[in-house]
Chain A
Amino acid sequence: MTNKILELKDVRVNYGNIQALKGVNLNVAEGEIVSLIGANGAGKSTLLKSIVGLESLTNGNITFNGSSIRDAGKNRKLNLPTDKIIASGISLVPEGRGVFPEMTVLENLEMGAYLLRDKAEKKRRIEEKYEMFGILRDRRKQLAGSLSGGEQQMLAIARALMSSPKLLLLDEPALGLAPLIIQNIFATISKISREEKVTIFLVEQNAKMALSISDKGYVMETGNIILEDLSSNLLENPKVKAAYLGE
């Protein structure tokens, strides 16, 4: 049996009286690409934020590599702050890319390896990202805010990889991008999974794209997981076809 790198057990998150997540159970095995699809407002982004500690759990527990990173209980050892979660080997590419607009491309990459003190290693990783995304090398001295949407997404992904994470979380990488660029982004994600040995958990409204590159998929509706299956099966599932693939 493969090793579960990420496991969510009965995760609930409330915003005031509104339940954003209503008891989510989910797991991601090492080396896989897992996608979570669902409509706008289903709670997908909340789920990712709760994993990295940007939202507090009302109930449940999240483990990474077998140890607790978020917990609804009072024990602080089970509930790490965001910087400690990042240090343990998770990276998140946030929704809307979240590049630092008034920093250069190079500085954005440097921030991705903020916790790395070894300067030579930092340089090596930057060089590696330039090899992977040639456009970033050309624009390294430009302010990130001046890049196009697609370029910013590349930068956000490259920056997230700078910490050499074991698990990469992506929040709607296709959002607001042109179809051709979306294809490019997804090809890159699949390449990263193959070549970098990074486990990927992807949240996406573009269900067709997400399922076509992932091994396993979850379908979320208003705070609940309603379906869980191999992505290839989900692509053929009549319910998914009707609701998310527009067929």
Chain B
Amino acid sequence: MNLFNIPSNELLQHLINGLTLGAIYSLIALGYTMVYGILKFINFAHGEILMAGTYAGYYFYYFLYDPSKGAAYTIGIFIAALVIAMIASAILGVVIEKVAYKPLRKAPRLAPLLSAIGVSIILANLAALFFGTKSKKFEYPFNNSSMDIGGSSITPNQLMILAVGLIMMAGLKLFVDRTRLGKAMRATSQNQPVAALMGINVNLIISLTFAIGSALAAVAGVLIALEYKVYPTMGTMAGLKAFIAAVVGGIGNISGAMLGGIILGLLETFGVVILGIPQGLKDTIAFSVLILILLLRPSGILMKNIREKV
């Protein structure tokens, strides 16, 4: 195959790079879209919730880190750190909702949005205050030297990101489609007062939504931290990109967020390769996509408009 004069081994390389980036966007985008689905509001503190969980995972990991105990131990504490990050973000997400958003549920829609921006500024600054502004390196728990697959070099971390992303997304989809609570979540997003009429505790479902969305963001945060670094504003750009991914897929739509993330990851990667956009201007791709989507298909690519029957 010879698409745009890119040799096939390089094409595979870019594809894997794009998919890995996309999987991370998808994981973060799910939180935006789930919260939007239920509360019709964008949680602009989502990126900072990701950052906070990542710090929790980071400190847990280095509290127990001991290279002399061998590879299995390191991987073990890494998995534990991932779980700690998820729990920390989940709790933080739920608390933020109770403190900063719930009292504003009946307020004009701009109020919770501003509250969210305020929370995000507070969290980033608290992190700078307590953890310092210097970025921290989260070492790979395994040997990350790249492997040669089909002529392209792929790192174990990339494979892990793809695997973890896939498992999390498949798990979420199963939860939402098949379980009693997952169905209650969908019902609540489709019609909140009627969901309450089914006996659903709507506040509990809202908390659950924040918990799951935040936990998924923490997973993305730890995966990003392995590839890059941990720092107080690490969630800002990742959060913005993921928000764009959620809009691309159709905000409020779970499959849309997954697809939007993958599309955005691929566009960013291939935009650099095919259009020759310099690496430094890579971020313009995502924002151009946002503008185009808002102009051409503001409801997103997967959103179908079901009209209410009278």
A binds B: yes
A71 at the interface (CB under 8 A from B): no
A contact residues around B187 at 8 Å (CB)? 100, 103, 111
A contact residues around B184 at 8 Å (CB)? 111, 114
- Contact bitstring B107-146, A, C-beta under 8 A = 1, else 0: 0000000000000000000000000000000000000000
Contact of B199 among A54, A110, A115 (CB under 8 A): A115
Asked if A152 contacts B200 (CB within 8 A), the reply is no
A contact residues around B198 at 8 Å (CB)? 86, 111-112, 114, 159, 163
Task: Tell me, in angstroms, the Cα distance from A200 to B194 when the chains sit together.
Answer: 19
CB contacts under 8 Å to B, within A177-218, are none
A contact residues around B306 at 8 Å (CB)? 101-102, 143, 145
A176 at the interface (CB under 8 A from B): yes
Report the minimal beta-carbon distance from A54 to chain B, rounded to whole angstroms.
6
Among residues of B, the one whose C-beta sits closest to the C-beta of A115 is B199
A82 at the interface (CB under 8 A from B): yes
Asked if B190 contacts A101 (CB within 8 A), the reply is yes
Task: Tell me, in angstroms, the Cα distance from A54 to B195 when the chains sit together.
Answer: 11
A219 at the interface (CB under 8 A from B): no
Report the minimal beta-carbon distance from A114 to chain B, rounded to whole angstroms.
5
Asked if A102 contacts B186 (CB within 8 A), the reply is yes
Asked if A92 contacts B197 (CB within 8 A), the reply is yes
Q: How large is the interface on A (under 10, 10 to 19, 20 to 34, 35 or more residues)?
A: 20 to 34
Asked if B309 contacts A100 (CB within 8 A), the reply is no
Tally chain B residues at the interface, Cβ within 8 Å: 21
- The residue in A92, A98, A143, A176 that gathers the most chain B C-beta atoms within 10 A of its C-beta is A98
Task: Tell me, in angstroms, the Cα distance from A103 to B200 when the chains sit together.
Answer: 16
A29 at the interface (CB under 8 A from B): no
A contact residues around B310 at 8 Å (CB)? 96, 149, 176
Among residues of A, the one whose C-beta sits closest to the C-beta of B177 is A107
Asked if A82 contacts B190 (CB within 8 A), the reply is no
Contact of A114 among B190, B191, B200, B308 (CB under 8 A): B200
B7 at the interface (CB under 8 A from A): no
Among residues of B, the one whose C-beta sits closest to the C-beta of A91 is B197
B contact residues around A54 at 8 Å (CB)? 193, 196-197
Contacts A103-B183, A103-B186; A98 near B191 (Cβ below 8 A): yes
Contacts A83-B200, A114-B180, A114-B200; A148 near B190 (Cβ below 8 A): no
CB contacts under 8 Å to B, within A142-168, are 143, 145, 147-149, 152, 159, 163
Among residues of A, the one whose C-beta sits closest to the C-beta of B194 is A98
- Contact bitstring B165-192, A, C-beta under 8 A = 1, else 0: 0000000000000001001101100110
- Contact bitstring A61-102, B, C-beta under 8 A = 1, else 0: 000000000000000000001110011000110101010111
Report the minimal beta-carbon distance from A141 to chain B, rounded to whole angstroms.
14
B contact residues around A98 at 8 Å (CB)? 191, 193-194, 197
A52 at the interface (CB under 8 A from B): yes
Task: Tell me, in angstroms, the Cα distance from A148 to B203 when the chains sit together.
Answer: 32
A contact residues around B183 at 8 Å (CB)? 103, 107, 110-111
Report the minimal beta-carbon distance from A43 to chain B, rounded to whole angstroms.
18
Report the minimal beta-carbon distance from A159 to chain B, rounded to whole angstroms.
8
Report the minimal beta-carbon distance from B148 to chain A, rounded to whole angstroms.
46
B residues apposed to A, CB below 8 Å: 180, 183-184, 186-187, 190-191, 193-202, 306, 308-310
Given contacts A54-B197, A102-B306, A145-B309, 5 further A-B pairs with CB under 8 A are A52-B197, A54-B193, A100-B195, A102-B186, A111-B198
A residues apposed to B, CB below 8 Å: 52-54, 81-83, 86-87, 91-92, 94, 96, 98, 100-103, 107, 110-112, 114-115, 143, 145, 147-149, 152, 159, 163, 176
9 pairs of residues in contact across A and B, judged by CB atoms under 8 Å: A82-B197, A83-B202, A98-B194, A100-B195, A111-B195, A111-B198, A111-B200, A114-B184, A145-B309
